[in-house]
Amino acid sequence: DAGVTQSPTHLIKTRGQQVTLRCSPKSGHDTVSWYQQALGQGPQFIFQYYEEEERQRGNFPDRFSGHQFPNYSSELNVNALLLGDSALYLCASSLGVRVGTDTQYFGPGTRLTVL
Amino acid sequence: DQQVKQNSPSLSVQEGRISILNCDYTNSMFDYFLWYKKYPAEGPTFLISISSIKDKNEDGRFTVFLNKSAKHLSLHIVPSQPGDSAVYFCAAVFGNEKLTFGTGTRLTIIP
């Protein structure tokens, strides 16, 4: 049973560029949440997707957008990259939209470096 | 606005002894608390949780205590094992809202 997978593992971009990160949820899960973890910080909630719609959003600018596909996989897009966007981006999947549950499974993350 | 705080960035404990990790929160509306464990190059893994209507939850070597009046929770690991060396995150949630994480505590178990 495959867990949550994310691609790519590492990514290097320059300021102003755009990036797309991908996530495949754990088998049987239908909800995907994205988190940003800056160095030395805890993960911060970006947004959550369920039934191909954004259901909740954290305190992130519109440069951060996402998408969920019919197979429940998801993409995180970041436009006009800033140096401060350098972080580990984590994807978590769950069954249903309740965020505060112990059944959220995290992927290994994508390490984004913006130069 | 750091609503969930873990004031100890690191903690070292001898193998076999008790590890106590602490977490404070400011939002009294939080109704569910979770602890996650994170190894390098892996995503956080759920460890244990507690509802705000309880003051203790135990699962094997792991026990979480909640003191609502002090807005404080702690994770006890006993006995500590080398495999427990990891970063531990405290997280809190209100209703169906987002998970709010602390900054993490790096636990090192000394053999």
Ordered mean pLDDT values, 10 residues apiece, chain A (115 residues): 90 97 94 93 93 92 97 97 97 77 83 97
Q: Please give the structure tokens belonging to residue B105.
A: 């505590």
Task: Count CB neighbours of A43 within 10 A.
Answer: 29
Residues B57-94 pLDDT 10s: 999 999 999 999 999 999 999 999 999 999 999 999 88
**Contact status of B25 with chain A (Cβ, < 8 Å):** no
Residues A81-94 pLDDT 10s: 999 999 999 999 98
Work out the average pLDDT over B44-67: 95
Q: What is the DSSP letter of A26?
A: P
**Contact status of A59 with chain B (Cβ, < 8 Å):** no
| Nearest-CB residue to A100 (from B43, B93, B102) | B93
Measured CA to CA, the distance from residue A13 to residue A8 in angstroms comes to 13
How wide is the angle at C-alpha B60 spanned by C-alphas B54 and B64, nearest 5°?
A: 30
Q: Please give the structure tokens belonging to residue A64.
A: 């951060």
**Do the Cβ atoms of B96 and A98 come within 8 Å?**
yes
> CA nearest B34: which of B86, B78, B94, B84?
B94
Q: Give the pLDDT confidence score for residue B88 in this predicted structure.
A: 98
Question: CA-nearest residue of chain A to B4?
Answer: A42
CA-based nearest distance B103→chain A, Å: 4
Q: Please give the structure tokens belonging to residue B3.
A: 């609503």
**Do the Cβ atoms of B103 and A42 come within 8 Å?**
yes
B5 pLDDT higher than 80: yes
Measured CA to CA, the distance from residue B8 to residue A72 in angstroms comes to 38
Higher pLDDT, B97 or B77: B77
- Cα separations in angstroms, A20 against A5, A27, A61: 15, 22, 16
**Do the Cβ atoms of B98 and A109 come within 8 Å?**
no
Buried b (16+ CB within 10 A) or exposed e, A94-105: beebebbbeebb
**Contact status of B49 with chain A (Cβ, < 8 Å):** yes
| Nearest-CB residue to B98 (from A45, A103, A109) | A45
Task: Count CB neighbours of A115 within 10 A.
Answer: 10
Chain B residues in contact with A90 by the CB 8 A cut-off are 43-44
Do residues A5 and A109 touch, judged by C-beta distance below 8 A? Answer: no
| Nearest-CB residue to B41 (from A44, A58, A108) | A108
Q: Give the pLDDT confidence score for residue A83 in this predicted structure.
A: 97
Single-letter residue type at A80 = A
**Contact status of B42 with chain A (Cβ, < 8 Å):** yes
B97 pLDDT higher than 80: no
Q: Give the pLDDT confidence score for residue A102 in this predicted structure.
A: 56
Residues in Cβ contact with B96 at an 8 Å cutoff, skipping those fewer than 6 apart: A56, A97, A98, A99, A100
